[in-house]
Every structure is written in structure tokens, then in C-alpha cells.
Structure 1
Amino acid sequence: MDESWDRRIESFWNETDGRDPEGLIARMTNLARERPEGDPGALYELASVHDFLGHENQAIPLYQAALDGGLDGERRPQAVIQLASSLRNVGRATEAVSLLEAFSDDATTGSASQAFLALALFDIGRSREALQVALTALAPTLPLYSRAVTAYAEELEEPGRQALP
């Protein structure tokens, strides 16, 4: 990827406030046109601006095209999570669950995928599993109660099992 282009993309996001939706889409479209047709990074950025503006139906095919086109680096895990979130927001939570269950946490996004997985699981009526996913992701961040929350999360996974005190 062109470092100059990446810097301009970073500047775009740093300056974006969402007050001029048409202007934002136009600016990102112009930036994307600087890249070769079908460039996964450009498709991802276009998807992201649509998503940011609440236009998930326009974002979804762009995210999918970016991923199918070989999107890599730090943008790839973000695209997976953002695609799943958009799918959930348009009522396609089952697809979001499938996408996120196959996704591994990584250094770029941390456990963010687990938060979105929990939301999607809740949306499809799998509340116990949603809570278990959320607690499992949260537990490592708790300095005093990590062990207890982990045990409670495990209990949710196996109904009837007694949690540790």
C-alpha cells in the first residue's frame, strides 16, 4: 500500500465528524479512485465510510469484496468485525455469528470480535451463550475477580455445573 495514501486515509478518519455525509462519501470515493480498480484496501475504506454513516446495506458488499479480494494486514480483522456488525444491524445476525465464530482474536482488534459475537448471539436468541462469550472476554481484564468470572462463564457453557466460589 502507498504510504502517502495511507496517511491521507488516516487524516480523513481523524478529521471526520459525520456532519457532511455526502461530502465524506465523495472524499473517500476520490481517495479510493487513486488505487487500482478492485483494490481491497480502497474497498474496505469505502465500506467503512458507508458503515460509519449508517449505510450498512451499501457497506456489506464492499466489505465482502475487500475480503474476497485478499484484504490483509490490520484492515482484515477490522473488516471481518465491521462486516459482522453490519450484517447484524440489517437483521442478518445468523450470518454475523457464523463469521465471528470462525474468527480468532488478534493484536489489532483484541477481543472486540467477542463483543460483536455476543450481540449477534443475543439477537438470534442464544442469550446464555451470548453472556458466556461476553464474560469469557471480560474475565482477563478483571484484576480481582478474573477467576470467579471465568468459572461463572464456564458454568454457563455447561448448565448444572457448580461454579467455583
Structure 2
Amino acid sequence: MTTTTRAAWERRVEELWSSFDDHAPADFLARAEALAAELPPGDAVALYELASAHDALDREEEAASLYRRALAAGLPGERRRQAVVQLGSTLRNLGRTEESIALLAAERKAVSDELDGAVAAFLSLSLADAGREREALSLALTALVPHLPRYGRSLTAYARDLAAGGGAAG
């Protein structure tokens, strides 16, 4: 596929996602499958888009399998991290909380970019589901601190105290 053709394909994918609410679930999935079929079998981006379509339609088992295949096929760029976040969320929804925690905790250490907050948010949800609410709240507060013009020092101290199992910080 040429660069021009790939760019046109990407535009069509974006158009499909922007019209998600205009489609019945079966129609949306059929359109996503048709777009994916335009790329070579096993194409990481096609697998990711199919995984996302299944995920958006609450077909988590299919989504998880496709996310794994996309990642194994070498999903590039921003989509790779999106796939990790989405797989982590999907695993949580499937009750595979510890697997979600391991995946998202590793991702948090692996790279830093504009999706750091999303990684922290979904990891926090998984930690809470695992009964680790204080750790989850600590992580969520720590992720929130950079977005607050004030109170960063206090919230950082509270978050640290929560993670350590304490009750109050200064």
C-alpha cells in the first residue's frame, strides 16, 4: 500500500469512528472488518482497529485476542500505547485484574507521553478492583497533580501517605 493510499485508508478509519453512533453494532463491525481486510493479513494496524471495534461493541474476549495479536505484530507509534491501555481496560472488564495491573504497571515504567494519565487512570481502576483502593487513589492523585495550578505539594504528600498506608499528610 502506498503512502497516499495508506493516508486515505486512515482517513476512512477516522470517518468510521467519528460516525460510530450512526451505525447499528453489526453494521459498524462489518465496516471495520471491511477496512481491515484492505490491509495485508496480520497487519498490526488492521488488527488494532478490529480490536478497538470489538471493544467499543462490548465484545471484550475478541478485543483482547486482537489487541494481543496487534501488539505481537509490532503495532507502531501511538497506537501501540493505546492498544496497551485498551487491553488493560479490557482485561479488567473480563475480571483479569491482576493481568491488567501487571500490563499497565509495566507500561507506566516503559515510556512517558501524553497517554501517561490514561495509563494511570486505568491502572487505578484495576488496583481498586483488586482491593488496593489506597494505592489506586494515590496513583490517581499523583497523575492529577501536574494539572493543578495549586496544591501540588500537598496532594503529592497526601498521595505518598496513602501509598504508604498512612492516614493523613501535611
Question: TM-score, normalized by length of structure 2?
Answer: 0.91
C-alpha distance in structure 1 between counterparts of 2:13 and 2:166, whole Å = 51
What are the residue-to-residue correspondences of 1:13-162 with 2, within 5 Å? 13-17=17-21, 19-104=23-108, 106-160=112-166
Seen in structure 2, the aligned counterparts of structure 1 residues 55 and 10 have a Cα distance that, compared at 3 Å, is same
C-alpha distance in structure 1 between counterparts of 2:114 and 2:148, whole Å = 21
Structure 2: gaps of 5 or more residues: none
1:6 and 2:13 matched: no
Q: Quick check: 1:93–1:120 contact (8 Å CA) kept in 2?
A: yes
What percentage of aligned pairs have identical amino acids?
50
CA RMSD in angstroms comes to: 1.6
Paired residues, number: 164
C-alpha distance in structure 2 between counterparts of 1:18 and 1:93, whole Å = 33
Name the one with the larger helix percent. Answer: 2
SS of 2:21's equivalent in the other structure is coil
Question: TM-score, normalized by length of structure 1?
Answer: 0.93
SS of 2:95's equivalent in the other structure is coil
Structure 1: gaps of 5 or more residues: none
Q: Quick check: 2:52–2:63 contact (8 Å CA) kept in 1?
A: yes
SS of 1:54's equivalent in the other structure is coil
